[in-house]
Structures are given as C-alpha cells and as structure tokens.
Chains A and B, each alone.
Chain A
Amino acid sequence: MTFITANWNPLGEAFYRKSELYEMCWNLRDGLRDCLVAAAPYGGPIALLREPVRRSPSSRPQLEIYSASGVSIASFPWKSGPVVHLGWTVSDELLCIQEDGSVLIYDLFGSFKRHFSMGQEVVQSQVLEAKVFHSPYGTGVAIVTGSSRFIMATNIDDLKLRRLPEVPGLQGKPSCWVVLNQDRQTKVLLSTGSELYILDNTSCTAVSLPGLAPQGGSIVHMSVSFSYKYLAVLTDSGHLWTGPSHLQDKMSEVDTKKLTPPKQMVWCRRPKSQQPSVVLMWDRLLMVVGVCQDTIQFPTEDQCVLVGEMDGVRIISSTNQELLQEVPLVCQEIFKIASMAPGALLLEAHREYEKSSQKADEYLREIKEQSMLGEAVSQCIEAAGHEYDPNTQKSLMRAASFGKCFLTDFSPGQFVTTCRELRVLNSVRESSVGLPLTHTQFKQMTLQVLIDRLVYRQFYPLAIEMCRYLKIPDYQGVSRVLKHWASCKVQQKDLSDEAIARAMCAKVGDSPGVSYSDIAAKAYECGRTELAIKLLDFEARSGEQVPLLLKMKRSQLALSKAVESGDTDLVYTVVTYLKNEMNRGDFFMTLRNQPVALSLYRQFCKLQEQETLKDLYNQDDDHKELANYYVTASYREKRLESRLSLLQSAVDEYNKAKNEFSAKATEEEMRLLRFQRKLDDEKGAGLLELSLQATMEALLALGLYKQAEQLYRDFRVPDKRYWWLKLKSLAEKEEWDELEKFSKSKKSPIGYLAFVEVCMKSNNKYEAKKYVSKVTPEQRVKAHLAISDLDGAADAAIERKNDSEIATVLSRCSAADRLLIERLNRASTAKK
C-alpha cells in the first residue's frame, strides 16, 4: 500500500504508471515474433496469425483467437489466401484482409460469417497494406494497392467502396499513412517521405506540418490519437512532431535521438489529460515522449504489441500484459507523497482510525476546518474507480465511507454506484473472463454494451448475475441474456431436442420479453424443425406461433394454433395459405377437422366464391344449406327456366334434409312462377316477382276475379286473408255492387265490422250502413260509431247494458248532444 507510487514515473508535471493487468494464459512458443497480431480496444480479443515454422506448400498458417488475458477461444489452420492485415470490428468480429482484396469476416469463435471484396482491380494489383479503423459510422477498411491507389469502405456493414484520387508521384506504397476522421469525413493522410498529402473523396492536397524544423527530415512514422484529434509524426532524424490532426497548430517537437524507425508508435492520453504523450516502441526499448519534451524510457525484454485505448496504452508481450497510463489527477492528489489534498488527509485519517490512533481525529479536524470533507469523500470514491487493485479500491472506499459518517447531507448515490460498478469491473477483469476494462472505458462503453459483450462471449451466468445485481429491469436485462442463451443453446448439436426443450423451459420459464417463437425460429434456421415445434409449444401468443409454423410447412398445426388464439384474421390468413398450398380435396378435409376455420371459410366464400360454397356444403352433406344456396342462386338468374331448375334443386335438397315444409313451399313458389308467367304472357299482367298475395291483389285490381279465385283455391289461402284482400280491393275500385254480392256469397269469416270500416275508409257512408245490421252484437256499438251514428250506438249500448260501451259513446258526444248524454247517463245509473 505504501508503495502505490512505486511504479509512478514523473513526466513533466504529471506521472505515468505501468501496471500489470495479466500474466498471459497463453503459451506462445515463439512469442509474438513473425505473426500478424490484432488486438481490439476496450480490452477486446486478440487474434494471431502465425507463419508456420517450416515453410512448405502444404503447411498452413494457424489462426488463433485469444481473450485479452490470453485464454484460447479458437484456433484453426488458415486455408484461404495470404493475409495482409487482421483487424477487429466494433462488434468483436475479426476481419482478415487478404492480398487479393477479399475480406473474410469471422466471429469471436472462429466461425466464418461472410466475406466481401475491396474491388475487382485489387485482385490484379494486390493489397500492399491495409488498415481497419473505427468511426461513428462503424468499422471501416482502407487499403493501398500495388498500383498505389487507396480504396476505402467506411462501414463494412453497409459496403460502399470509394476509390480515392491518385497521389502524384507515388510509386508502390507510401512511407507511412493513417486514416483520419474529420468533419464527418474519412480521409487518408499519407507521406511519401518528403511530401505529406491529404486524400479525401475528391482531391489529393499537399499539406505541411506547421512549425516542423527544416532539418526535420522525411517522415517515417505517423500516429493518430484514439479520438482522431491529435497527430504524431516521426521523421528520419528522430524528431517527433505532435499537433492537432487538422494540422493548423503545433503542440511540440521533441528530438528522440533515435534514428531507427520504431516498430510501433501510439498516442497515450486520457480525457482531461495533463500530459499527453506518444509511446514509441523499438526492439528492446519503450519510450514515452511527453508533449512537454520530457521522456520516460522502459527497457523491454520481449517482442511487444501496443494497443491504444482511450485512456492509455496496453502493452502485450508473450508473457504478460501491462497498462501504461497517465495517473489520473485525483489519484495523484491522494497518493502523491506529502499531498495535503482533502482526499489524501481522509485516507490518512481512516488509516489512523483503524489503528485506533487519536491522530485520526486530528486529520479529520483539519479537513473539516477547511470544510472540505465532502470534497475528500468524493475524491476517495473517484480515485477508487481508477484503481485496478481491489485492495486499494477497498481502502479508498472504506475511507470514503468513514468520512461520510461525519457528513449529514451527503448523497450516497455516487458511493453506491461506484461500489456496484467496481464489483462488476473486478469480475469481468478476472483472467477467466478477460475484459481488462478501466472505469473510464466502462463508462464510455455503457453497461448495455458490456452485457452484450459478455453474452457474445457466452458468459451467460455472469451476465445474468450482473443484471440481477445491478437491478436492471428484466426486459432489458435477464430476459435479453436468456434470449441469447436460448438461441445459442438450440445450436448445440450434441443435445437431444427433448433435453434442449426441457432446459429451455426450466431456465427461461415465463420470463417476460423472451419470445419462444424467436428461439424456435433460430432452431428452425439451424435445421431443427422438431425442436422448433417443441419450443413453439411454450409460446403463449399464438399470433407468434402461426407464421413460423407456416414457414415450417406445419400448416395443420398452424391452423389449430390460429383457431386456439381466437383471432379470426389469423385463421383466415392460414386458411388462405392452405388454400394455395394444398389440393382441393386435402384442403377441404383439413377444414372439416376445424369447424371454426370451416365456418370462417364459408363466410369468405359467401362473399367471394359462391361456387366453392356449394362444394363445401356438398362435401358435408349439408342439404339444408345447399337448398338455401340454390334458393339464393335462383334469384341471381334472369331466365325463368334456369331459375326454376335451381328451385327444383332446392326442392330436392330440402327433401333430402327432410324439411317437408320448405320443399313444399318451394314447389308452390315454382307453381306460382309458372302461373305468373302464363298470365304475363297472356294478359301482360306483370306479375313475376310478386308474392302470392300481391299477385291476387294485382289480379283483383285488373278485374281478373276468376284467376284470383283460382289462386285462392289452388294455394289454399286462408279465407280470412282472402276476404280481407278482396274486400279492400273491391272498395278501392268502388265496385260496390260486386262487394255486396261478395258479402252475401257466404258468412264472412272476418265479420262485417270490417266491411263497415273499409267502406268508411272510402268515405262511402251509404254502403257502410248496409253492413251495420250484419255486425255481431259485440261490435255493434263500434259499427254505429264508425258511421258516426251516435243515436244508433247509444241504442245498442243501452240495449247491451254495457258500461264501458256507454262510456265510449259518451266520450264521443259533444255538448250539442245534450239529450243523448242524459239518456246514456240515465241508462248507466239505472243499471246501478
């Protein structure tokens, strides 16, 4: 603990420290010599492509993929063409750029994903050098070809190749080049030795470095910072020029006194860097050159690889891995020897407190006197975040917690969050996981992405534990992990369908947001249809089951699931699909087993395909519906003959359905139609389409009494209805004599009050009177009143000694009928 500053090296005002991250788990026989190496930032994976020891046509190079801690993830012989460059995409996919310009993409586990080409011309001219770069648009690839042309793709997921303009006088490859990202444009900065050019989409512009000493010499190496904001340029005279990458300024120029070009040159800075620097690596030397002109030199034993990070540089050798970074300001303040910063005092106070020394109080007092306790706690918490060693983290957090006790209104948020984040970070930094993230990187990367990366590396239990620990809502947390787990699980060929389905059900259960149909789709993609069907059974939303089942050609199952859902639209969808897929017989049979689907299809046919409807009823021997169908169809026919034949079919079907009434009614209709046509032909009566009643009415109106009579008899029309009809018809035509004759033809089945009323409707009181006497006693009052014969009504009422009738008559009397009123009243009282 006391030696926390032991590995600190001053550089200008600031300090740099080099701390060990891992002892590498790998066992590389030949170190990192003679390999292509690619290590992804943010503690990403490492890829090695090693040339075989003995070069022979049959031996192939080995491609190896390791985690950042050197745990082997994949290893396989490289069977494709010669590789010029390796690189990682932002989503941890490996890009292998071949000499012929094709780019092969592998996932973290070494399985081939896809490939693309950098253009046809490259096959001829070959790739001389390539770089993989990251920008807000994604991961890009830039190459320089044998014909000295630059070709670039800014986003490999949305491939658009750009051929950059020619560089004047360039033969072969440039002495050095970098990809810049400026003003939302990707450019190439290249040096031909003495000249410096910027290449963008349309032009090639010569530029110069401001303030570079004339004796500087030609450029041999260039490096751009992680954020693309700063540029470092090394000349053959050993001068290192640094400045912003827009080349309008100079930050510094340092003479490294090294004339050999370095193996690698990388920026080392951090956000709010006090002392940014450039790290240069030679065979046995690592030199940190500060912008302040100060340098630190580290000897190196072994071949190393530098990986630039946003807040430092990782140094990977065959045995271990170190992080070189500028010590964060807050850590400097706390740990710098003899520091009086509040954080440093608080840490000291806590240390004394643990020793049960009263000095603790003195330190505390000192901080409190300056009212800096809050500041001190914050400093300790912040510093803990930047420390890699859990013991140091703990002592800082304990100090913070101690200091917090003396504060009344200090929000615990920062403390709690940092505690949680440190636990997460410590667990992913474990060598077995191998994600050596700093706190700053973690914040930049976000928790979501970290979980994604863990999932991608198949650390499912850790990811779930993390989600639970950080209380991330299930939907974004645990469920998401489970989803990935499940779709990975279904690809495990060595497990039986049954076992996978069981495991799935046990683990995933009813977790919200995990869609079994998505998992099933994945299983189907991997050719495991049976498993997919098993998994779909767990899916609660039938709407989700159906499309996949259809895709898997399990149409019967799809149909029953659709029916189960109750969503008729879904049923229709499956039915339409089946209709196109199956032959008619099978289709009908399928429907027959699903009554709900069948009736929906019938509905559909009713509107769209009448003919099919008939076939459906036929298949089901549904004679009644078939008959109804013929009836409906008959109305669509214009020609009477076809109409009659359809009706005949209806009769047959009604008979088969044992519906005698309907059969007879239909036969009657046919008879009526024939009769109507006959009369239409003979007399032009225009009877067709009329009902029997209307036909008789029309006949009566035309004076065709005999024909009406014939219908009345033939169709056994009830007397009452016929009498009403004839009565009204005759009255309307004012055939009063005919009416009287009719009234006397036999005893009226509708009584005679009807005659009275109908005559009155035609305003013929004279005729009406004729029938009053024939009215039954019960209706007599009514009849008299109908012809406004108050006296007659009164007589009848009094005679019948009926109170309510007397009252009715009274209600019709006006004041002028005084005598009558008296009479009625007398009769009424007399009765009482």
Chain B
Amino acid sequence: MRGNPYSILRGGWKALGTQAIVWDEYLTGPFGLIAQYSLLKEHEVEKMFTLKSGKLPSADVKNIIFFVRPRLELMDIIAENVFSEDKMHSSRDFHILFVPRRSMLCEQRLKEQGVLASFVNIDEYILDLIPYDGDLLSMEYESAFRECYLENDQTSLYHTAKGLMTLQALYGTIPQIYGKGDCARHVANMMLRMKREFAGSQNQILPVFDTLLLLDRNIDLLTPLATQLTYEGLIDEIYGITNGYVKLPPEKFAQKKQGEASKDLPTESKKLQLNSAEELYAEIRDKNFNAVGAALSKKAKIISAAFEERHNAKTVGEIKQFVSQLPHMQAARSSLANHTSIAELIKDITTSEAFFENLTVEQEFMTGVDTDKVNTYIEDCIAQKDPLIKILRLMCMQSVCNNGLKQKVFEYYKREILQTYGYEHILTLNNLEKASLLKLQTSSRNNYPTIRKTLKLWMEDANEQNPNDISYVYSGYAPLSVRLTQVLARPGWRSIEEVLKLLPGPHFEERQQLPAGLHKKRQQGENRTTLVFFLGGVSYAEIAALRFLSQMEDSGMEYIIATTKLLNGTTWIKSLMDRPESQIS
C-alpha cells in the first residue's frame, strides 16, 4: 500500500530537475510514513520548507512544489509566497499538489488572488488512508469528529467514501456493509452511489474483505473518554503518539550511551518509532499495562539466556552461528532496554495516588455509582486547578454514563469551570453540549445501565494477565464499539435490536453484488475478514481489543481497523475546544 509520492512527479511531470518542497506542516507526519526524507532526496529534492506566510526562503532550485491540504487559508499563504517570489526569480516553476484531493474552491481562490496562472502543474496526490501498521489505516483527519458533529460538514465522510472506493479497487468489492450511526449511513450511501457511477468498470479482484463495518464515534462516546490501560494506550495518554512516533523525556534514556556518561543529560527528548515491526513491541503493545512487567522480565531472561549461549559455543561453526545472530539479538536487547525505560516512566505515573484516584472515579462512573451527584473528586480537581481537559473528560464521562446530568449538577460544574478556568470556555462547553458529550438530563430514564448490562460492558473479574475478554483493555470496562463489533460477528445484531435502538442513528445492512465468479469459496476453518471503520476516531485501546478478538482462537474473524483519526480522550476533547483568544493572534 505504500506509494512514492514521486511516482506522480516522475510519471506525470517529466523533466522536473531540482526541486524544493514547501510542506503544509500537517502533512509532514503522514508523509513521513510513506516516503522517507532520504528517498525524496534521491529524487532531486534539495530543500524542504514549511509553508508560512511571507517570503519563501531562498533555495537554488528550478521548481517549487507546494504539498498542501485543500484549505482556503493555505491558498492565501501560497498566493503570498508566490507574489513575493516572482519579483526575484522569474525562471522558477511553481507546482501545487493537493492532498488528498484537488479542490475547485481552492483553485478558484488562487485565481481570485491572481496566482493560478503561475502554476505549471496543479495535481492531486490521493492519500486518503495512510497505513499505520499491518492492520491499521488512518486518514489522520484531525477535525473529522468536530466537522461531522459540530459543524455539519461532511467533507471527511466524502474522503472516507472515496478512500473506501480506492480500497475496493485494490482489494476487491466488499460484499457486505454494516453500519450504525448517521455518518455511517451517509458514507454507505455515498459508496453505493459511487459504485453506480463506476458502473461497467467492475474490477475483477477476489475480495479480501468479507465485511465492512462502519461505526459512528458518537454511538460510543464513553470509550475514548476513559483512560486507556494498555501499554500503547498509556504511552499515548501520557506522552502522545503522533504519526507512529512518541517523544519521551530523555533522562531515562541517557545512561545507556556508555562512555558519554560524563556528559550532561540530553535535553532533547527521545523520539521513538512504535509499530509492530518491532518484535517486542508487537508482543506487548496491546497488553494491559499490569501484564507488561512480567512480559518484559520474561523477555529479559530469554535474551540474556541467548547471550549466555556464547559460552556453550565451542566449535568455530557454533561461534559463527552465534555471531550471525548477534545483530538480531542486539536489536532485541536495545528494544528491551527502551521499553523497560518506558515502562518505568509509565509506572511512576500509574502508581501515583492521583492516577489511582482518577481511575477509581472513572470506574465508578462506568459502573454507575453516584453518577447523578456532584462528584467530589471533580470538585477537588477544579479547586486544585488541574488541567481543564482532565476535568472535561471526567465531566463528559459522568454525563454519558448518566444519560445527561441533572440541571443542578450540570450548572454547578459549568459555573465552576467558567469561574476557575475563565469565561471563554463557555464556547467549549457549548460545543461539548452540541456533540452530546455533555447534556442536560431530559428524561428521567437513564439508558446507560441497560446498555451496560445487555452488552456486558462491565466485567467484574477482568483478567489482566491472561485476558479472556476485551474488557481487559480498560481493566473491567469493555469498549462499547468493540462489543458491537463482536456481537455482529456472533450471534449477530438481531439479538441486540433493543440496545441498538437506544444508540443514536440508524443501523443498517447493505449488500454489494460481486461480479460472477468472484464469490469466495471458503475453506473449512478459514477466517473471515472484517474492516471496521471508525468515523470520528478510534483509541489505541479499542484497536487492542479488536486485535485481541482477531487472535481469539474460536472467533473465526480477523479485523482490519480503519479510522479518520487515531485519538485519545485528551486529543479528542482538545479538537472540540474553542479558544476565542487564539483567533486574535
């Protein structure tokens, strides 16, 4: 699935010569996953800049290529760049490459600004779904949830449908589509429509996916609010994973460089890539953090045993064999060292009282304890001026678990927030209300307990070490979204019709006709494959839960996960916040 963005340039735009790329900053991360900088260098890319207003930095190149998302504000910046440039170098060629799609609106804007004619090429690089791992695709469309639920802007859904069409062009028509939620319905409608548009150009590819499941994020608002308790989830919660990389405080990693010990501690944070290509990480990423320690020490024993092997190596042949394994072993050892350090860092936090109290409150909410009263912990946190996002997460969680807050409680919280963190957050609170994350309890009936019980969202005896249920990812709470996925596979949604009706939006099933002769003849015991698409984002813990289901021996189902954005409660809430003062600058 990985492609070289230069294939476009080399194929379509011949004889380019030296180039400088001006990046829309947001794109550098995702592009880093598919084209390394070194690769770009090989293709005569001499310089890379970040798009900003004013004059372009000087560079001795023939071509300037803008890699941008189709956004009006970026067009204005480009226009400014081009204007200030023209006077100095008249011989340069400008190109613009839209990611993921060309936009008439943007071209119109460039035309209005009077720079459209300055571009030798205007093209698009269709990059909807970016591979983040063997089983994980994300569009990294940060504002998708906000646009869909706050602003009624379905651009991201259009890109989703387009992306799914591309996926089907590559991996065959997906015969069955299930979905739950308004956005899911919209995407499915667009896909069916697009299929009609391409009528006649049927692809003759044996379908890789048996089922597509489209899930709206707003059918399960609870899950991302809860603190993820898998290893990867915690790394994301505490340090934030962006585009497959995490930045960690350097102190723990300092002493490893022997000989440099005398030097000062490094001040630059340690950047690590996290994906399943790293054997150890693949093994522990989805484990409950409480099981990671054991896994690491087991691994440590295996590795040191492997190193001990050298004493047993007697013949030249044996030594040679040992040496040939050395690079692999050394990589494993450094991987182990890294993850031991990370685990220590995390452990410092998870064993803290604050973390424990926070988790206790979360679990109380999830189990429905005292959700209709003002929670003293939240109150204390506000008094202590803890980070606002933390407060909002807890508040939203309480609201979701109580099917809305009682007016007194609701207004008390809101007043507390406005008085403590500032009146400007009234806009954020309004946003959260609009997204149903916070709401006033209107009916006296609270559905959440019904949903919790029917779908078994709370498992009292979650086994963290050797899990037998997805609830291990939150040490007791089974993510609703994943439970729905699990039920769909067996025994089917018909068994939970009542609960589905309690969740927002329609649920549906569509079938897509396959060309004759492409119907899979399934071998006995062969797994079915489902593509689960989370519209509005998915958390690492949910991914872990789905991976757990894939690995369950008797599930018979393999899951590939796709989403508009990889998120956690913090980044999610952040995307819904409005800060009027930031608009001043």
Contacts and interface: CB of A to CB of B under 8 A. Distances in A.
A720 B383 contact: yes
Nearest to B418: A665
Contact of A603 (B151, B411, B418, B421): B151
Q: Which of B385, B418, B419 has the most CB of A within 10 A?
A: B419
A487 B96 CA distance: 36
B161 A721 contact: no
A569 B70 contact: yes
Contacts of B200: 474, 510-513
A665 B423 contact: yes
Contact of B385 (A607, A661, A669, A693): A693
Interface in B421-439: 421-424, 426-427, 430
B98 to A, nearest CB: 10
Contacts of A693: 385, 419-421
Nearest to A625: B430
B422 A691 contact: yes
B201 A568 contact: no
Interface string A650-671: 0000000000011001101100
A634 B421 CA distance: 18
Interface in A536-570: 540-541, 564-570
A203 interface: no
A665 B415 contact: yes
B580 interface: yes
Interface string B155-191: 1011001000000000000000000000000100110
Q: Which of B105, B147, B196, B380 has the most CB of A within 10 A?
A: B105
B154 interface: yes
Given A513-B200, A569-B70, A721 B580 contact: no
B103 interface: yes
B584 interface: yes
A540 B199 contact: yes
Contact of B414 (A600, A632, A661): A661
B386 to A, nearest CB: 12
A718 B382 CA distance: 11
A566 B193 contact: yes
A572 B155 CA distance: 11
A386 interface: no
Contact of B154 (A568, A602, A634, A718): A568
A666 B424 CA distance: 10
Interface size class of A (residues with CB under 8 A): 35 or more
B186 A566 contact: yes
Contacts of B427: 628, 631-632
Nearest to B109: A576
B72 interface: yes
A645 to B, nearest CB: 16
A666 B420 contact: no
B262 interface: no
A612 interface: no
B580 A665 contact: no
Interface string A492-513: 0000000000000000001111
A672 B153 contact: no
A350 B416 CA distance: 107
Q: Is the interface of A mostly helix, strand, loop or mixed?
A: helix
Given A572-B105, A603-B153, A692 B414 contact: no
B418 A599 contact: no
A565 to B, nearest CB: 8
Nearest to B430: A628
Contact of A632 (B190, B193, B420, B583): B583
Contacts of B426: 631, 662, 665-666
Interface string B425-456: 01100100000000000000000000000000
Interface residues of B, number: 51
Contacts of A541: 197
A458 B43 CA distance: 52
Contact of A540 (B196, B379, B421): B196
Contacts of A540: 193, 196-197, 199
B356 to A, nearest CB: 14
A228 to B, nearest CB: 34
Interface string B100-116: 01011100100000000
Nearest to B160: A566
B103 A569 contact: yes
Q: Which of A510, A668, A721, A725 has the most CB of B within 10 A?
A: A721
Interface in B381-401: 382-385
Contacts of B103: 569, 572
B151 A602 contact: yes
A686 to B, nearest CB: 15
Interface in A667-704: 668-669, 672, 690-694
A642 to B, nearest CB: 14
Contacts of B151: 599, 602-603
B152 interface: yes
Contact of B583 (A510, A573, A635, A665): A635
Interface in A444-493: 474
B152 A599 contact: yes
A636 interface: yes
A60 interface: no
Interface string B570-585: 0000000010110110
Interface in B337-382: 379-380, 382
A607 B106 CA distance: 14
A635 B427 CA distance: 12
A246 B460 CA distance: 100
A31 interface: no
Interface in A699-718: 715, 717-718
Interface string A573-617: 100100000000000000000011001101110011000000000
A336 interface: no
B158 A568 contact: yes
A26 interface: no
Nearest to A723: B383
Q: Which of A566, A628, A715, A717 has the most CB of B within 10 A?
A: A566
Nearest to B411: A661
Contacts of B155: 568-569
A603 B146 CA distance: 12
A331 B38 CA distance: 67
Contact of B101 (A569, A599, A662): A569
A604 B584 CA distance: 18
B461 interface: no
B420 A566 contact: no
A106 interface: no
B73 interface: yes
Q: Which of A596, A635, A668 has the most CB of B within 10 A?
A: A635
Given A628-B427, A631-B426, A724 B153 contact: no
Contacts of A631: 424, 426-427, 580
Contacts of A774: none
Nearest to A608: B72
A693 B201 CA distance: 64
Given A568-B155, A624-B430, A691-B420, A512 B201 contact: yes
18 contacts: A474-B200, A510-B200, A512-B199, A541-B197, A569-B104, A596-B154, A599-B152, A635-B584, A636-B583, A665-B414, A665-B418, A668-B423, A691-B419, A691-B421, A691-B422, A692-B420, A718-B416, A720-B383
Given A566-B186, A569-B101, A691-B419, 19 more contacts: A512-B201, A564-B193, A566-B157, A568-B154, A595-B152, A596-B152, A600-B153, A603-B153, A628-B427, A632-B578, A636-B580, A669-B423, A691-B422, A691-B423, A693-B419, A715-B419, A718-B379, A718-B416, A721-B383
Interface of B: 70, 72-73, 101, 103-105, 108, 147, 151-155, 157-158, 161, 186, 189-190, 193, 196-197, 199-201, 379-380, 382-385, 411, 414-416, 418-424, 426-427, 430, 578, 580-581, 583-584
